[in-house]
């Protein structure tokens, strides 16, 4: 079924250019007989879009060929990008269309040509996650997963906990069969993480990766230590912080909207764990990071009854303090 136009999600920010592009995508999709469904994800579907937001969508191509309707686990992909969008059920890399030779529908669908009707393209390529990425002439980015409708829509059930559609009907731009809307409605609620086991996991992750940071720094690999501290340790630390503060709306990308989600004192503590990539700064930031991790872990232990490996934590502190 072709859905009627839905007004933009109310947001404190304004995204008129994105609103217009989404309206145009809805119009083009409805007129494209090879598409059975189009599903948006990302900040627009959460009411958080602004002038800097991307357009992100799944384009479900009508099934054809021997693999039509075949089962797929549809599980979300290898993580999130910098804006927090999960790579759920990423299309296959290779030809820029998001399909393979076995998926006759997607393989025959020319994604760049279709998207070029949205607006002129300055760039179109298959990115490192196998997703068709484009840059429009106004420098808006776009990411489009092109998948066979049958198994692609069936796979949405595996996204629970990774993608959230608070208003599913707004995320669905086209649904010729009704199955896409039903699948999106199953992701309308977003239960928070289970505190005790999540805290246990996060403390263990922080223990392990901070120890690795300490060894790498001691070896003299300053650039690598810098990367570990900022891209591996910090996100887990911010998740533990959010768990303690009851602020889990941006769980997948815990740095997202940190400045508005959490109090200034927490922002200051996080800032103290960052540093330029030089030896003295990395040492100071690493010590501050581990000190804060231990404070957060202690608070989690008090609140949820988890046991901390105190002796190991002491040893890591000694290693970090060594010159």
For residue 79, is pLDDT > 80? no
Q: From CA 133, how far away is CA 117, in angstroms rounded?
A: 15
For residue 83, is pLDDT > 60? no
Question: What is the pTM (predicted TM-score) of this model?
Answer: 0.78
Percentage of the chain surpassing pLDDT 90? 76
pLDDT at 24: 98
- DSSP assignments along 107-157, one per residue: HH--HHHHHTTTS-EEEEEE-TTS-EEEEETTS-EEEEEEEEHHHHHHGGG
Residue 233: CB atoms within 10 Å = 23
**pLDDT tens-place string over residues 196-247:** 999 999 999 999 999 999 999 999 999 999 999 999 999 999 999 999 999 9
Q: From CA 277, how far away is CA 301, in angstroms rounded?
A: 33
For residue 195, is pLDDT > 90? yes
Q: From CA 45, how far away is CA 168, in angstroms rounded?
A: 8
The structure tokens 């502190």 sit at: 317
Q: Which is more confident, 96 or 134? A: 134
Average of per-residue pLDDT values in the chain: 87
pLDDT at 13: 53
Handedness of CA 260, 262, 263, 265 (dihedral sign): negative
Q: From CA 173, how far away is CA 4, in angstroms rounded?
A: 9
Per CATH, is 16-185 categorized as 1.10.260.40?
no
Q: Of 50-59, 137-146, 161-170, where does mean pLDDT reach its minimum?
A: 161-170
* DSSP run (H or E) holding 121: strand 121-126
CATH number, span 195-321: 1.20.120.330
Q: Of 8-17, 204-213, 253-262, 306-315, where does mean pLDDT reach its minimum?
A: 8-17
Domain segments of the chain as ranges: 16-185, 195-321
For residue 23, is pLDDT > 90? yes
């Amino acid at each position: 079924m072709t859905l009627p136009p839905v007004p933009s999600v109310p947001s404190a920010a304004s995204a008129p250019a994105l609103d217009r592009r989404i309206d145009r995508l809805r119009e083009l999709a409805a007129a494209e007989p090879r598409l059975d469904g189009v599903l948006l994800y990302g900040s627009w579907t959460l009411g958080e879009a602004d002038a800097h937001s991307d357009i992100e969508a799944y384009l479900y191509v009508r099934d054809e060929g021997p693999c039509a309707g075949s089962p797929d686990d549809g599980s979300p992909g290898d993580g999130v990008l910098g804006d927090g969008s999960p790579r759920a059920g990423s299309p296959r890399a290779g030809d820029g269309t998001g399909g393979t030779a076995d998926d006759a529908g997607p393989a025959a669908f020319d994604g760049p040509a279709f998207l070029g009707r949205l607006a002129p393209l300055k760039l179109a390529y298959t990115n490192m996650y196998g997703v068709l990425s484009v840059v429009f002439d106004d420098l808006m980015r776009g990411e489009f997963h092109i998948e066979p409708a049958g198994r692609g829509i069936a796979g949405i059930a595996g996204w629970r906990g990774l993608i959230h559609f608070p208003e599913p009907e707004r995320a669905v731009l086209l649904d010729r069969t009704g199955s896409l809307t039903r699948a999106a409605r199953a992701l309308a609620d977003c239960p928070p993480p289970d505190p005790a086991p999540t805290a246990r996991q996060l403390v263990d992750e922080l223990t392990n990766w901070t120890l690795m940071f300490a060894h790498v720094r001691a070896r003299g690999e300053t650039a690598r230590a810098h990367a570990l501290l900022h891209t591996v340790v910090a996100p887990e630390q911010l998740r533990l912080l959010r768990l303690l503060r009851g602020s889990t709306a941006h769980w997948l990308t815990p740095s997202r909207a940190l400045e508005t989600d959490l109090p200034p004192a927490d922002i200051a503590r996080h800032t103290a764990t960052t540093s330029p990539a030089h030896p003295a700064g990395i040492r100071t930031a690493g010590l501050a990071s581990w000190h804060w991790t231990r404070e957060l872990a202690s608070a989690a232990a008090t609140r949820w009854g988890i046991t901390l490996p105190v002796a190991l934590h002491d040893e890591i502190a000694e290693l970090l303090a060594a010159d």
